Structure 1
Amino acid sequence: MAKATKKQALGRGLSALLKDPENDIQSATDKNADKVVGNIVELELESIEVNPFQPRSYFNDEALNELATSIKELGVIQPITVRKLDFNKYQLVSGERRFRASKLINLPTIPAYIRIANDQESLEMALVENIQRQDLDPIEIALSYQRLIDEIELTQEKLSDRVGKKRSTIANYLRLLKLDPIIQTGMRDGFLSMGHGRTLVNIEKTKDQIALYEKIVSENLSVRETEKAVKEYHEAKKPKTTTKPSTETLKTPEYIAKGVTNLSNYLDVKVDIKSTTGNKGKITIPYTSKEDFKRIKKIILGE
């Protein structure tokens, strides 16, 4: 208990140091910077502004209220991280849920790690830290990856090293951004899993994406059932192949057709003929018994 009291007192002492205009720390090389940067400091909530680079755009009210109740009982266990903007003015880098929950119960101060970072560093810190969280939805993670690529100018390979994820994993998240916004919203609201989204992205047409999305939700399709539906969709879209007529099904010339009729009448049996190319073909004369065979033979040979 004494150790905790000493730590809390230290935080208040550093807070007083930061409020002294003569100790306005702006860089890591300033006097007393080593006492503040990287240490836990009790900061007034009114001196902290939210981070415009925060990748999370949705905060569940019920979850925030639960966190606020926990903070009211146990305090803020994990400090937030801020960067110094100006004299006694800070900006959140990470920990916005803790910050919001603390404001809900009107806490005057909050424990914070102080960083000195420029806008780009602040953006990268906020995005990377948020990506590591377990409670972000797939679209929030995908948007964070995209911002790191666009605004920090990282390649997927460098991003993979920076966040400790396989390049293929990053690519799979980024592909989700090709989904129609309606479907992205469905994923953020928990109607679809990432597996559903990865399957739906294989359908290019927006209207077809949405049609299958509505079927998934209404029929509660599993990822496997969705994969089957997408496969059937592509099978139905394949162009029907037209087979060339075989050599045995070419149109019989008129002179042959007439001759076959005469031959059939002459032999008193239905003669079949199949024409091939080059005026070639095959004549088939059926027989029904030994006696019938002899009869036909006799007619043909004139015996």
Structure 2
Amino acid sequence: MYATVNGTRLYFDVEGAEYEVREGNLVKKPVCFVLHGGPGGNHIGFKPTFQALTDTMQLIYVDQRGCGFSDDAPEETLHIDYNVEDLEALREHLGLDRVWILGHSYGGMVAQGYARKYGQRLLGLLLVTTAPNHRFLEDAKKIVKENGTPEQIEICEKLWNGDFQTDEELDLFYAQMGSFYSVREQKEGKSKRPKVRRNYRALNQGFGGFMREMDFTESNRSITVPTLVIAGAHDWITPPKANEAVAESIPTATYVLFENSSHRVMSDEYERFMRVVKTFVQTATTEER
């Protein structure tokens, strides 16, 4: 499905019923926007993983502007501020009231940006392996330098500099760094994730530009909705230290560390991830009612 917002056409997909039957009554489930990482990724990698959450929430997967199945967008608009405004415009377009946001990696940064400007529109936040500010970049560089192969260290320079030239070059980066992103892939030796359409220009704009100055630390202190922060103990790109900083900056945050996970917590420890997220949302929803 598509919606035209702020001069661009965004792709979104809805999964899960709007209502559930509880004690013989129809009860409306909360709606949750699901935001992908990158910048430059898309929602495909979340399927079918997140389907298990649909008994708790109705999910709306969103491909950010210029990404995935959304229309291409001018390079100067591939920026977190536009992502925030697009999300709010989509919420209004769909006629939704208050919503949850599940943001993974860069998607969690967009969620924090949304909370800063549109916090009154939130029911809660699910922030998965993300960061509150630019300082995660230096920690990630150190981890790669200490643990990466010469080839991995070399290709990461393109990431730090925002210097990818093609989508194929970005695909090569993820292929070479796959074992860093997932403990499961380290053990199995190869990725079972679906092919993800990526936009190297969006990633370059982030790592080579606005992410170098990004900081939500102070604005996070104004967040009042239930917030779950999930970290992977072996995450290299948004290490536990970064996620701890997210939790420390949000007064209502609950922090959970997944000891056997890297960046892709939802696949590394699938069953525990689903259990933790569903319990958190169900508890918060019961208290809200």
TM-score category, normalised to shorter length: under 0.3
With structure 1 as the length reference, what TM-score do the two structures score?
A: 0.21
Rg comparison, structure with higher value: 1
Which of the pair is proportionally richer in strand?
Answer: 2
RCO higher in structure (CA 8 A, sep ≥6): 2
With structure 2 as the length reference, what TM-score do the two structures score?
A: 0.22
